[in-house]
């Protein structure tokens, strides 16, 4: 059965230069293994490929039931020179939570 990631996780976006940092947390700790299995770096790149032009790297942070995604070349050249409305990519957390995963 497919589920929207929004039903399983919460997320916050941060930025460093042209890199977007997306932190994904299980809403219920019991769902963390499912997130680890399904929300891979590859899956995130597929979900946000039209925004994230560079590499996506994933860090597992099990003490927080969290996954940290480092998305390179994601902010239109960088926060300070981007022409985008949302130059910081602060809304990208909710673009990731749109992702559908097999549960």
Partner 1 sequence: MIRIGSGAGFAGDRLEPAVILAERAGLAYLGLECLAERTIALAQLRKLKDPNEGYDPLLARRMERLLPVAKKNGVRLLSNMGAANPVAGAAALLEIARRRKIPLKVAAVTGDDVLQLLEPNDRILETGGRVADYPWLVSANAYLGAEALLPALASGADVVLTGRVADPSLFLAPAMHEFGWDPADWDRIAAGTVMGHLLECGGQVTGGYYADPGVKDVPRFAELGFPFAEIEPDGRFVIAKPEDTGGVVNLMSVKEQLLYEVTDPRGYATPDVLADFTTVQIRPAGTERVAVSGATGRPRPQQLKVSIGYHAGWVGEGEISYGGPNARARAELAAETLRARLAPEFAELRVDLIGLSSLHGRPLHAVGEPYEIRVRVAGRAGIREKAERVGEEVEALWTNGPGGGGGARKYLREQIGVVSTLIERSRVRPELHVTEVRGEEATV
Q: How many CA atoms lie within 13 A of 40 on its CB side?
A: 6
**Taking CB under 8 A as the rule, which mask of x and - marks residues 66-85 in contact with partner 1?**
x-x-x-----x-xxxx-xxx
Distance CA 87, CA 13 (A): 12
Nearer to partner 1, 12 or 42 (CB): 12
Rounded Cα gap, residues 84 and 26, in angstroms = 30
Considering only 1, 2, 30, 63, the residue that binds partner 1 (CB under 8 A) is 63
Q: How far is the CB of 102 from partner 1 (least distance, A)?
A: 17
Near partner 1 in 84-103, by CB under 8 A:
84-86, 90-92, 95, 98
Q: Does residue 64 bind partner 1 (CB under 8 A)?
A: yes
Q: Which of 54, 65, 79 lies closest to 32, judged by CA?
A: 65
> Are residues 96 and 5 in contact, defined by beta-carbon separation less than 8 angstroms?
yes
Q: Which of residues 4-33 bind partner 1 (CB under 8 A)?
A: 6, 10, 12, 14-19, 21, 23, 25, 27
């Amino acid at each position: 059965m497919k589920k929207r990631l929004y039903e399983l996780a919460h997320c916050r976006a941060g930025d460093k230069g042209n890199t977007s940092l997306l932190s994904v947390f299980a809403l219920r700790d019991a769902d963390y293994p499912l997130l680890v299995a399904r929300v891979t770096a590859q899956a995130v790149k597929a979900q946000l490929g039209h925004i994230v032009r560079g590499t996506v790297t994933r860090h597992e942070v099990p003490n927080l039931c969290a996954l940290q995604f480092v998305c390179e070349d994601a902010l239109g050249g960088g926060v300070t020179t981007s022409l985008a409305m949302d130059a910081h990519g602060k809304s990208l957390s909710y673009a990731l939570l749109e992702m559908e995963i097999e549960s």
